[in-house]
Amino acid sequence: MNETEQLLEQVATRVRNSAQGQAKPLPAALGAEEIARAEGILGFALPPLLAALYTRVGDGGFGPECGLLPLGHAVSAYGAGRASARRWPEGVLPIADFGCGMYVCVDCRSDTAQVLLFDHDPGEPELAWSIDTPSLAAWLGGWLDGTAWFCDGSPAGEEYDLELTPWDGFRSRI
């Protein structure tokens, strides 16, 4: 079993364990045709790990904070962002809403599926974008082991806000 398979199994196990006893079941996993339809609308492919989360674990509702967005919501949010004055970068898909205008996004054009944070800045749009983690796998790993900045009791804690690295890809992608 390779690292991606192990990670997917860890996510699926955590999701199954946390779903036990909940009144509302998690959305069912998507089929390959639904992924292909979303990619056709977006105009780019989902990173393999992100597609596997949607096809093997479920259509959102799991993960940190309120969980991953259902794929249809992520596609709609991307389209709305691209059409708005916010100047949403091409190929950057929102995958989680952390509230107060903050979105976790995946750079679908990055080889590692780099995870970015969008924190609405009404002044300079490029200041709204920063790097969260170098890969979707690392972001999920931080959630699973409790070390990510968004986890309760994380060692990153409040200090993380002081060390955000601006994402320099913004200007080239709008």
87-129 pLDDT tens trace: 799 999 999 999 888 899 999 999 999 999 998 865 677 778 9
Output the 3-class SS for the chain.
Answer: CCHHHHHHHHHHHHHHHHHCCCCCCCCCCCCHHHHHHHHHHHCCCCCHHHHHHHHHHCCCCCCCCCCECCHHHHHHHHHHHHHCCCCCCCCEEEEEEEECCEEEEEECCCCCCCEEEEECCCCCHHHHEEEEECCHHHHHHHHHHCCCCCCCCCCCHHHHHHHCEECCCHHHHC
User: Residues of the chain whose pLDDT is less than 70?
Assistant: 19-23, 121-123, 152-162
Full set of structural domains in the chain with CATH? 3-145+166-173 (3.40.1580.10)
